[in-house]
């Protein structure tokens, strides 16, 4: 692994990384995408499967195929595109399962609902398009994004988040509170200066 190259990739935007990968096909670029997005992809997979092993397996399959997919498509907004790739992969797996379980079961009903699902994870009764939500999450700082992901997607408690991140429970609560406020600000305005770090 070229350490200097990895450091440079960390400074590039998603779109710049895509152009770099198209030109040179460096595996370190895929590693950088993995570092940036694996926790979010896993969270989406968990939402669909409610099974840790299945979510992990599907997450790894998505990243194993990411390089070939990047070369096939013209990608303007990487997070939106990656969410769509993840959603489609999950739905394909659920459709396979659909034919192995009795017609009319709760899994089939759930699958049909997922086709046009929206997220209510963060804002109570306010429905948020998950595609947009992933884009907004990427604009938060690392601690806010991580804490929100672990609480609302992975269903972790404050105590669990603190234990896994090394943050205090007070810090976890603060990051979640500020993260939720920042997400609402982002959704209500394009003015990113409102974000509290």
DSSP 21-52: HHHH--HHHHHHHHHHHHHHHHHHHHHHH--H
pTM for the whole structure: 0.51
Q: 136 and 183 in contact (C-beta within 8 Å)?
A: yes
Contacts of 64 (CB under 8 A, 6+ apart): none
Residues 97 and 18 placed together within one structural domain of the fold: yes
Cα torsion 117, 57, 163, 145: sign: negative
Residues 18 and 100 placed together within one structural domain of the fold: yes
User: According to the model, what pLDDT value does residue 114 have?
Assistant: 41
pLDDT tens by residue, the chain, 197 residues: 567 777 888 888 888 999 888 888 888 999 999 998 999 899 989 888 888 999 999 999 999 999 988 888 888 788 888 888 898 888 888 877 653 433 333 444 344 444 334 344 454 434 455 556 667 777 888 888 888 877 776 677 888 888 888 889 899 999 988 988 888 787 776 444 444 55
Query: Token pair of 154, please?
Result: 């992975």
Last residue of a domain, one of 70, 101, 117: 117
Contacts of 10 (CB under 8 A, 6+ apart): 32
User: According to the model, what pLDDT value does residue 56 have?
Assistant: 93
Q: How far apart are CA 153 and CA 155, in angstroms?
A: 6
Residues 111 and 146 placed together within one structural domain of the fold: no
User: According to the model, what pLDDT value does residue 53 have?
Assistant: 92
Residues 111 and 167 placed together within one structural domain of the fold: no
Residues 41 and 26 placed together within one structural domain of the fold: yes
What residues make up the domain containing 157?
A: 118-197
Residues 79 and 175 placed together within one structural domain of the fold: no
Closest CA to 34 of 8, 54, 53, 6: 6
User: According to the model, what pLDDT value does residue 128 have?
Assistant: 52
């Amino acid at each position: 692994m070229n350490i200097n190259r990895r450091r440079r990739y960390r400074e590039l935007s998603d779109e710049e990384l895509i152009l770099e990968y198209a030109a040179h096909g460096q595996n370190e670029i895929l590693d950088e995408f993995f570092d940036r997005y694996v926790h979010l992809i896993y969270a989406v997979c968990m939402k669909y499967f409610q099974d840790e092993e299945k979510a992990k397996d599907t997450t790894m399959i998505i990243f194993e195929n990411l390089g070939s997919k990047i070369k096939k498509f013209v990608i303007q907004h990487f997070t939106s595109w990656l969410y769509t790739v993840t959603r489609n992969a999950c739905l394909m797996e659920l459709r396979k399962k659909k034919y192995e379980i009795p017609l009319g079961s709760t899994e089939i009903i759930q699958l049909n609902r997922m086709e046009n699902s929206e997220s209510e994870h963060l804002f109570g009764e306010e429905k948020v398009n998950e595609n947009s939500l992933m884009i907004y999450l990427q604009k938060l700082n690392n601690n806010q994004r991580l804490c929100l992901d672990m609480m609302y997607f992975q269903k972790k408690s404050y105590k669990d988040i603190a234990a896994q991140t090394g943050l205090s429970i007070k810090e976890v609560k603060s990051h979640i509170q500020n993260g939720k406020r920042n997400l609402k600000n982002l959704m209500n305005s394009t003015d990113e200066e409102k974000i509290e770090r």
